[in-house]
C-alpha cells in the first residue's frame, strides 16, 4: 500500500539518512507509527512477512514515547531523579534507533529477495520467520540496553570493582560495534535500493 511505502520512506530518512533525530522528525515518526499500527489492523492489509516487520518497526516508537515520559518525570521531580531518568531516556532512544535500523534493513533485504529471487526465497519469507527475526532483534537490543544501564548504574555509584571494569569495557566495545554496524547498514541499504531501482527502470 502507498501509505506503508510512505511510512517506510519516512523511517529511512529518520534513521538511515539524518545524522541525528530532531523534534520534527521525531514527531512525524510518532504520528506515522501510530497511523501505521491502526492501518495494519485493517482487513485491507494482508498478513505477510513484510507487514510483520513493519508492525514491529511501528511498535518500536513506543520506546520514544517512554523516553519522552522519562524526560517529563526528570523535569517534574527535579535533580533527585534527574540523572537516572535522563540515562534511561537516552537508552530508550538508543534502543529505538537500533531496533528501527535493523528492522528497516530486514525490510530492504526482503525487498531484494522479492525482486531478484522471488521463487527461491518464498520458503524464507514467511510470517513465522518474520516474527522470529523481530523477537531476536528485540532480545539482542534489550540485552544491549541492560548492559548500558548496568554500566551507567555502576558509574553513578562510584564502583571500581572488577564488575565495573568488565561492564565498562563491554559497553565501550558494544558502542563501537553499534557505530560500525550503523554505517554498514546504511551502505547496504543504499546498495539494495540502488539495485532494485535500476532493475525496475526501463532499459
Residue 25 inside a domain? The answer is: yes
Residue 166 domain-assigned (yes or no): no
Whether residue 96 is contained in a domain is answered as: yes
Query: Which one, of 113, 18, 15, 90, lies nearest residue 58 by Cα?
Result: 15
Number of structural domains, the chain? 1
CB 134 within 8 A of CB 103: yes
| Domain containing residue 15 | 1-141
Per the domain annotation, does 9 fall within a domain? yes
Is there a domain that residue 186 lies in?
Answer: no
87-129 pLDDT, tens per residue? 888 899 999 999 999 999 999 999 999 999 999 999 999 999 9
* pLDDT for 73: 74
Q: What are 128-182's pLDDT values in tens digits?
A: 999 999 999 999 999 999 998 888 877 777 666 777 788 888 889 999 999 999 8
- Give the single-character DSSP code of 16: I
> Which letter, b or e, does each residue of 141-159 get, where b requires 16 or more Cβ atoms within 10 Å of its Cβ?
beebbebbbbbbebeeeee
Burial tier of 14 (Cβ tally within 10 Å: 0-12, 13-18, 19+): buried
Q: What is the DSSP letter of 18?
A: S
> Is residue 147 a part of any domain in this protein?
no
Number of alpha carbons in the 13 Å side-chain half-sphere of residue 149: 14
Amino acid at each position: 500500500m502507498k501509505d506503508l511505502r510512505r511510512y517506510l520512506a519516512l523511517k529511512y530518512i529518520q534513521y538511515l539518512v539524518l545524522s541525528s533525530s530532531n523534534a520534527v522528525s521525531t514527531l512525524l515518526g510518532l504520528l506515522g507509527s501510530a497511523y501505521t499500527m491502526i492501518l495494519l489492523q485493517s482487513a485491507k492489509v494482508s498478513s505477510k512477512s513484510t507487514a510483520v516487520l513493519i508492525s514491529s518497526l511501528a511498535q518500536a516508537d513506543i520506546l520514544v514515547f517512554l523516553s519522552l515520559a522519562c524526560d517529563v518525570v526528570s523535569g517534574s521531580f527535579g535533580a533527585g531523579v534527574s540523572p537516572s531518568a535522563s540515562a534511561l531516556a537516552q537508552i530508550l532512544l538508543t534502543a529505538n534507533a537500533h531496533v528501527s535500523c535493523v528492522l528497516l534493513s530486514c525490510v530492504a533485504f526482503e525487498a531484494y529477495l522479492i525482486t531478484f529471487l522471488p521463487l527461491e526465497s518464498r520458503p524464507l519469507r514467511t510470517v513465522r520467520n518474520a516474527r522470529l527475526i523481530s523477537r531476536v532483534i528485540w532480545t539482542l537490543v534489550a540485552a544491549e540496553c541492560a548492559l548500558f544501564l548496568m554500566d551507567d548504574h555502576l558509574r553513578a555509584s562510584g564502583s571500581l570493582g572488577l564488575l565495573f571494569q568488565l561492564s565498562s569495557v563491554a559497553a565501550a566495545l558494544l558502542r563501537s560495534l553499534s557505530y560500525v554496524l550503523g554505517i554498514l547498514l546504511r551502505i547496504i541499504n543504499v546498495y539494495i535500493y540502488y539495485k532494485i531501482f535500476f532493475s525496475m527502470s526501463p532499459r
